[in-house]
Structure 1
Amino acid sequence: MTYLELMPAFLALALVPVALLAGTPREAPRRRWAAMGLALAVLIVLTVIFDSLMIAAGFFSYGDGSLTGITLWLAPVEDLAYVLAAVVLLPVLWWALGHRGHVSRCLRTWLATSRPISWVNTAYPFATAYWLLTHSVDAILIVGSLFFLIPYNLMMYGINDVFDYESDLRNPRKGGVEGALADRSEHRGILAAAVLLPLPFVLFLWAAGSPASGIVLAVSLFAVLAYSVKGLRFKEIPFLDSATSATHFVSPMVFAFAVAGAQWTATLTAVTAAFFLWGMASQAFGAVQDIRADRAGGLASIGTVLGARRTVLASAILYVVAGLSLLPAQWPVPVAALFVLPYLANLVPFLTIRDDDCERANTGWKRFLWINYLVGFAVTMLMIRSLLPA
């Protein structure tokens, strides 16, 4: 990796505190930005002079192939990246911390919006798949796991909360672990954080990966945006809503396959297909509890089209097919087919549910959230067993 490839992520990191300024009652005065410009000019001149003198004196050198070859006197242009980052990062962070009440409120809102109970659902598939393929703990594993743990979820759920605000006001289950209900005045800050916080991670993973992993990452991010953003709103297109939601959770694993350079085998295909079908089944069941609220708000979903009872049945069928998809995989992966049983058992009380009491499915949805942890533990045990000698 060259310094030029690292520069975008490094510079993007400096922009992260800008999200903390979004929504403050008073924007930074123009003279502050003028001072930043003056400081940047002075630091660029000093950096070029002293870097060139130290290089000429032989104090340090750069590895072959790590630079573009563009220099100012003797100083590589890449050396100016940390100057620009420092000039942006430090003043903006200082101004943001000056609004201490605003900062603490933003952090609490972002935390609630990112759905901490669901963080593991995206980070675990990436980390597990990457480690099983590479058996190494490197920068990609660490950065990728952190990205899919918090920034990815903040982007996914934060954008959704902003664009679903009007319908969420009519939804009694919003305002807790199942979805934040942030005041409209906080929406600009949420959107700024949802874009800026993931940016350094995305740039690093893009630079560190291959063209194939870059395409997977682009598809993953598009699915996050397309699900909620006005003009796309895949969540309002029945059946596509379930497929897009499944992509949110499967794409981190597929990205791990791509960035690790894995060859597609029958086992990887079976695992991916099963995981995707599981995601569709889970989203469909989750839509049942919102059928009346969605219809009242003029929203369409797989639930509003099929109705409560048939949606639960469709979810059950998808879970069964997900389990069957694992059977052709290499041993002991087919054992994981049994892991759909808790999800199927969770659906049984709702096989006769009606549209007019669809909210009753929320009890099953809350159980679903905890079943994920149980099944995740079982998957981990199966993974450990597969790594042990026979």
Structure 2
Amino acid sequence: MSEEHSEREGDSTETAAVRSDPERPDASQSSLSDVAVYLFALSRPRFWLYLAGPVLVGVVYAADARADLLTPATLALFAYFLVPANVYLYGVNDVFDADVDAENPKKDEREVRYRGQRFVPVAVAASGLGLFGVVSLTDPIAWPWLAAWGLLATAYSAPPVRFKTRPVLDSLSNGLYVLPGAAAYATVAGAQPPVWPLTGGILWTMAMHTFSAIPDVEPDREAGIATTATWLGERRTLAYCFTTWALAAAAFGMADLRAGAALSLYPLLVLGIAWSDVPVDRAYWWYPAINGVVGAGLTMWGLAQIVPPSSLV
């Protein structure tokens, strides 16, 4: 085989690799399956229920009868906040954090790294516009919650606001994860959600976000990004999470002691992590499962009030 032919074959191989690698900036010719796999990873499937779960809780606790559970509005809310909303939320984050993520080890192990692929902003914008379709199916009483979610999901990562780079505000703005549940409750009940569970939910998300930022402390500091976690440091951030999760449990307890008891698991877990040798960046990956179990328990309890288990026998 001639040297020239070898070079051509090498060029051909490299071109094929470029076309099949959706993480390359010039991956416009990537197959649809490659793009779908990339967007799937970008959407953080481990965290899908962080947005869709509150919709389930909101629907269940607002419903008076079985007919309230499955409607065009509730199905649209759940479907949108299960996948498209996550593509939008994390896509905006990845696009505007490209420089920071270049040194973030999470992007090598559990997530994907945005490298300027042209299809990503298109998919993210389309996912954001999908919110208008949901709005068209929901009661106007829910629109302020949906509008607030859209604004916070954008402003959290996008300039000029970038709440994620503003200590305390980065934590507070993560109340956005509760807003789909508030919108779902308002749509089904035709009234605004009760104050105590809403307050507890916001406090819970504040703590969850700040806890999840601990593994990013060093990459964020190296990139010059200020967050609540970089500002406080690991030990004081754990204390902040303990306090905020304890307040969340108390707020839920004001609505229902059983809910407060379930949420008290979180401050206890933080104490265990703080007093043990378990690294936070390892414990962090336990939480999707823990949150799923707690959320499922709350949802099933509420569902049992509408559809008693005895009626299924």
Correspondence for 1:361:
280
1:180 is matched by which residue type in structure 2?
A: V
Shift of 1:237: 0.5
Percentage of matched positions with identical amino acids: 26
Aligned counterparts of 1:270 and 1:262: Cα–Cα separation in 2: 18
Q: CA contact under 8 A between 2:80 and 2:134: conserved in structure 1?
A: no
Q: CA contact under 8 A between 2:182 and 2:192: conserved in structure 1?
A: no
Q: Does 1:220 align with 2:149?
A: yes
Q: CA contact under 8 A between 2:57 and 2:298: conserved in structure 1?
A: no
1:59-79 deviation line (CA, Å, top 9, x unaligned): xxxxxxxxxxxxxxxxxxxxx
Correspondence for 1:49:
none
Structure 2 length normalisation: TM-score? 0.82
Structure 1 length normalisation: TM-score? 0.66
Shift of 1:389: 9.0
Correspondence for 2:79:
146
Q: Does 1:191 align with 2:107?
A: no
Q: CA contact under 8 A between 1:131 and 1:137: conserved in structure 2?
A: no
Superposed CA RMSD in Å reads 2.5
Q: For 1:180, which of 102, 109, 112 is the aligned residue?
A: 112
Q: Does 1:156 align with 2:89?
A: yes
1:189 is matched by which residue type in structure 2?
A: F
1:200-251 deviation line (CA, Å, top 9, x unaligned): x42222223344322221110010000111212110000110111222x101
Q: CA contact under 8 A between 1:319 and 1:344: conserved in structure 2?
A: yes
Shift of 1:173: 2.0
Q: CA contact under 8 A between 1:24 and 1:102: conserved in structure 2?
A: no
Q: For 2:131, which of 198, 202, 216 is the aligned residue?
A: 202
Aligned counterparts of 2:189 and 2:265: Cα–Cα separation in 1: 33
Greater relative CO, 1 or 2 (CA 8 Å, sep 6+)? 2
2:297 is matched by which residue type in structure 1?
A: A
Unaligned runs of 5+ in 1: 1-19, 27-98
1:360 is matched by which residue type in structure 2?
A: P
Aligned length: 282
Correspondence for 2:33:
104
Q: CA contact under 8 A between 1:147 and 1:198: conserved in structure 2?
A: no
Aligned counterparts of 2:143 and 2:246: Cα–Cα separation in 1: 32
Correspondence for 2:48:
119
Which is greater in Rg?
Answer: 1
Q: In structure 2, do the counterparts of structure 1 residues 104 and 240 end up closer, same or farther at CA, with 3 Å as the change threshold?
A: same
Unaligned runs of 5+ in 2: 1-21
Aligned counterparts of 1:389 and 1:108: Cα–Cα separation in 2: 39
Aligned counterparts of 2:107 and 2:225: Cα–Cα separation in 1: 16
Aligned counterparts of 1:133 and 1:349: Cα–Cα separation in 2: 35
Q: CA contact under 8 A between 1:228 and 1:235: conserved in structure 2?
A: yes
Correspondence for 2:191:
263
1:146-205 deviation line (CA, Å, top 9, x unaligned): 10000000000111111112111212122344x3213x142x311210111342x42222
Q: CA contact under 8 A between 1:131 and 1:141: conserved in structure 2?
A: no
